[in-house]
Chain A
Amino acid sequence: GAVVSQHPSWVICKSGTSVKIECRSLDFQATTMFWYRQFPKQSLMLMATSNEGSKATYEQGVEKDKFLINHASLTLSTLTVTSAHPEDSSFYICSARSMTHTDTQYFGPGTRLTVL
């Protein structure tokens, strides 16, 4: 149980295009999902907290117009990187907090984004 999927697992795009990444909780409902960014050989940096049916809460320094987050249902959150640039290239990982186990986050496998 407690499986989180991400799609796509990797994506290469041209500079200036937008990329959407999906995060799904497959066998549980998640009122809260989190989006992280990880640079090579570094720890995870929380970008935003996404609650179902409401606006995401962004961490300091994260541009909300750049990284659009939508949490339309209890099993799906999306992150759209708008007008991507090479510096947006990174590993993006989502996590989901179960409604029943509220103090445990289950992580997706990550999406590697490369912007040319």
Chain B
Amino acid sequence: EAGVTQSPTHLIKTRGQQATLRCSPISGHTSVYWYQQALGLGLQFLLWYDEGEERNRGNFPPRFSGRQFPNYSSELNVNALELEDSALYLCASSFYGGGNQPQHFGDGTRLSIL
């Protein structure tokens, strides 16, 4: 069974540009989660999508947005990039449900802002 896949592996942008990160969940999973892991800050929850809808978001500004497609894959868009957006962006997927459904992570996209 294929795991969560993310692309690209690395992405280099400059301040003010936009970045688009992509995620394909495990087959059968309908929920997709996005996390940011910045140096020294640990993993922070960004967004949760299920059945094409945004269900919850963490404490991030609106320039972090995304969407989920009918095949359950997802995009994370970051507009007006700032230097502090440099981080590893992780995607996870799970079956829809509550606390009894583990999230499985991909290996992330490393976004570097110059």
Asked if chains A and B come from one complex, the reply is no
A residues with CB within 8 A of B: none
B residues with CB within 8 A of A: none
